[in-house]
Structure 1
């Protein structure tokens, strides 16, 4: 093996191809040609002397040797990055790029502003913000941290509970003027509901009354959507009633475009969590952003911060 041909650049390219499973995707991500990615992988395999990847027309997968080499590369690259962070730390400067994934509507309306404030404080740190409601593979997509609403099952990630997102039942005054104002949970079943098609159980509403009793109410309607901003637009347009996160509609409630219904009843809140890729948790800039988000998340309307 010619060790001089085992460069950090080739190792990084190999790691990203192993995680993405696509040469073209990595080429786009790195801003280089696919032929360059192919050449770097070939040169790395020639230097090591074993095949690291198995290529088919549809996907690239790791060989047994490649799996072992990938695990070692992750450790090497993490040490290189941490060494750079520590060296820069002697000058008090944090730099580099953090990749963040966030629930789409929350990211557009609120998290992006927090990131702006973070970058004002740390001008040498770049942030790549990916907005999606899909539960993406953070490692495969090269994400450092993710903000997610709802219960989580990925035990391989480090998890920080940020708090609970309160929800309210809302509708536009125009809709209520034409269809009437429901005064009890039972009356909701005869109203036009705006439902989230990507949320399990959206055909039922769970409401807790002032007596502490929970009630399940059938909830239906002609309009379903898979994006929070779309539901917000439908509510503002008077298309029906919907349970909405307070942060999604707080401004519309404040200016009278929406009104809260059945205020003496409460909807279950939804947990808001921060997922951290374990291998990235020790990076200084990642720690800085995590601490910043934990400290400022309470500024988002309707988010009740987790107790320390």
Structure 2
């Protein structure tokens, strides 16, 4: 193989086509003719020695060899970009792009405001803010930082624990007036639950008493949602009872639109972590955003440095 033929330009074009599945779309994006993109791909395949893409009249897909090569190309191109960014950062200028992924509801209600304030201090830093509850591959998606509820999962990432997210069992006053207030954990089995469809085990509610006793109650209901903000609206509308993160509903509690149910029993708290791609952690603007967010998230209602005494952190994420 003539290694001189494997150029960064051809790699970038291959990655673009692999991700978009369309030659003409990539050609338009680059401002070149489709024949140029096709030629670059053919030359790359000739240099590598295997077919990387399978072409049909409607779509371009990766071959098995192409999928493996794509993963390596993404990492190589990312390292090339990082080398340039680190070289520029030595000038001390806080500028460039930081890509962050965050649990959706927490991002909307809290992290977004922190990012706005951060950009007021560092106006030359562009923040690409992605909201999702999915556990994405940070390297493959080009993300620098992720804020996640629940176990961190990816052990290859640099972990910065942010604290434990405290949860409480809540319902709207109108729901409790109509259905009655539970007085024991077992009473919850006959109530409407607002459950999360994207959380495993949401049909079983675990509560801990003040003396450490554990209660596991079957938890049903006619409504399941896949977003914390939808759960918040359902609770405020009197659709049922649910365990909710304090940061999600603290304002509704203060306004008496929700009230705590069974205050002597609490759902387990949930770990809140920041994951940082190790290769990106040394870049000045990434470090600035990591430190800024960590300091402000620590002050968010319900985010506690340690799990509450006698309670174990939850394995799931609860109402997000």
Q: Which TM class, normalised by the smaller chain length?
A: 0.7 to 0.9
Report what 1:211 is aligned to.
Answer: 211
Contact 1:172 1:240 in 2 (8 A): yes
Taking the TM superposition and a 5 Å limit, the aligned residue runs for 1:3-22 are 6=7, 12-14=12-14, 21-22=19-20
Shift of 1:39: 3.8
1:76 is the counterpart of 2:90: no
Closer, same or farther in 2 for the Cα pair 1:71/1:165, shift >3 Å? Answer: closer
1:229 is the counterpart of 2:229: yes
Q: Distance in 2 between matches of 1:202 and 1:17?
A: 40
Contact 2:13 2:41 in 1 (8 A): no
Structure 2 stretches lacking a partner, 5+ long:
308-320
Structure 1 stretches lacking a partner, 5+ long:
none
1:60 is the counterpart of 2:62: yes
Shift of 1:305: 3.2
Shift of 1:140: 2.2
Q: Distance in 2 between matches of 1:39 and 1:296?
A: 49
1:158-193 CA distances to partner (integer Å, 9 max, x unpaired)?
Answer: 221111111000000000000001111111111111
Report what 2:137 is aligned to.
Answer: 137
Contact 1:5 1:44 in 2 (8 A): no
Taking the TM superposition and a 5 Å limit, the aligned residue runs for 1:1-308 are 6=7, 12-14=12-14, 21-24=19-22, 32=29, 39=36, 42-43=39-40, 46=43, 50-51=47-48, 54-56=52-54, 57=59, 59-60=61-62, 63=66, 71-87=75-91, 89=92, 93-305=93-305
DSSP 3-state at the match of 1:126? strand
- Give me the CA root mean square deviation: 3.2
1:70-107 CA distances to partner (integer Å, 9 max, x unpaired)?
Answer: 554443332111101113x1xxx211111111111111
Shift of 1:226: 0.7
Q: Distance in 2 between matches of 1:140 and 1:302?
A: 32
Q: Distance in 1 between matches of 2:42 and 2:265?
A: 63
Contact 1:171 1:258 in 2 (8 A): yes
DSSP 3-state at the match of 1:262? coil
Q: Distance in 1 between matches of 2:111 and 2:239?
A: 27
Contact 1:195 1:203 in 2 (8 A): yes
Closer, same or farther in 2 for the Cα pair 1:225/1:34, shift >3 Å? Answer: farther
DSSP 3-state at the match of 1:238? coil
1:264-288 CA distances to partner (integer Å, 9 max, x unpaired)?
Answer: 1121111111111222222211111
Contact 1:14 1:41 in 2 (8 A): no
My pick for the range that moved more, 168-177 or 263-272, is: 263-272
DSSP 3-state at the match of 2:231? helix
Q: Distance in 1 between matches of 2:225 and 2:40?
A: 48
Closer, same or farther in 2 for the Cα pair 1:184/1:274, shift >3 Å? Answer: same
Q: Distance in 1 between matches of 2:71 and 2:136?
A: 21
Shift of 1:231: 0.5
Q: Distance in 1 between matches of 2:278 and 2:189?
A: 45
Contact 1:22 1:59 in 2 (8 A): no
My pick for the range that moved more, 291-300 or 240-249, is: 291-300
Closer, same or farther in 2 for the Cα pair 1:126/1:53, shift >3 Å? Answer: farther
DSSP 3-state at the match of 2:198? coil
My pick for the range that moved more, 142-151 or 40-49, is: 40-49
Closer, same or farther in 2 for the Cα pair 1:289/1:201, shift >3 Å? Answer: same
